[in-house]
Amino acid sequence: MIKGKHILVVEDEPLVAMLLEDMLTDMGAHVAGPECGFEAAMARAEADSLDAAVLDVNLSGQKSFAVADILRKRGIPYAFATGYGRSGLEPGHENVPVLVKPYTAADVEQTLTELLG
């Protein structure tokens, strides 16, 4: 289900971004990004051809909810990645899947399969 899909990765921690990129590549996905900054993430969300996205909630102190709003308007499913669980989500995003850090490849695969299914 994930193989061949274009997945946007937005993550400000370089090691976490590389790990997620490796996980997705191993699953056969095409990774857009990873983007570590808010403006670059916004630009990708607006312009790229995407099948889904994984968004770190906190990008160096700036929240990624505006990126999520763009994806939602475009009909692109997304999940949040955060160490805070659902408690850190803003209203309107509370029903979005959450990958709780630290997550595993199995967690990522299950979440994206649900998003894309």
Domain boundaries, the chain: 6-116
Q: What is the pLDDT of residue 38?
A: 96
Q: Which amino acid is at 63?
A: K
Mean pLDDT lowest for which of 1-10, 47-56, 84-93?
A: 84-93
Query: Does the reported pTM lie above 0.95?
Result: yes
Those residues whose C-beta lies under 8 Å from the C-beta of residue 94, and which sit 6 or more positions away, are 86
Q: Read out DSSP for 34-58?
A: EE-SHHHHHHHHHHS--SEEEEESE
Please give the class, per CATH, of domain 6-116.
alpha beta
Q: Which residues of 47-76 are buried (b: 16+ CB within 10 A; e: fewer)?
A: eeebbbbbbbbbbeeebbbebbebbeeeeb
Given pLDDT bands bounded at 50, 70 and 90, which one contains residue 39?
A: very high
The average pLDDT across 1-23 equals 97
Count of other CB atoms within 10 angstroms of residue 102 = 10
Q: What is the pLDDT of residue 87?
A: 85
* pLDDT tens for each residue of 56-92: 999 999 999 999 999 999 999 999 999 988 888 999 9
Is residue 6 classed exposed, middle or buried when 0-12, 13-18 and 19+ CB atoms within 10 A define those classes?
A: middle
Q: What is the pLDDT of residue 88?
A: 83
Question: For residue 78, which of 59, 58, 98 has the smallest C-alpha distance?
Answer: 98
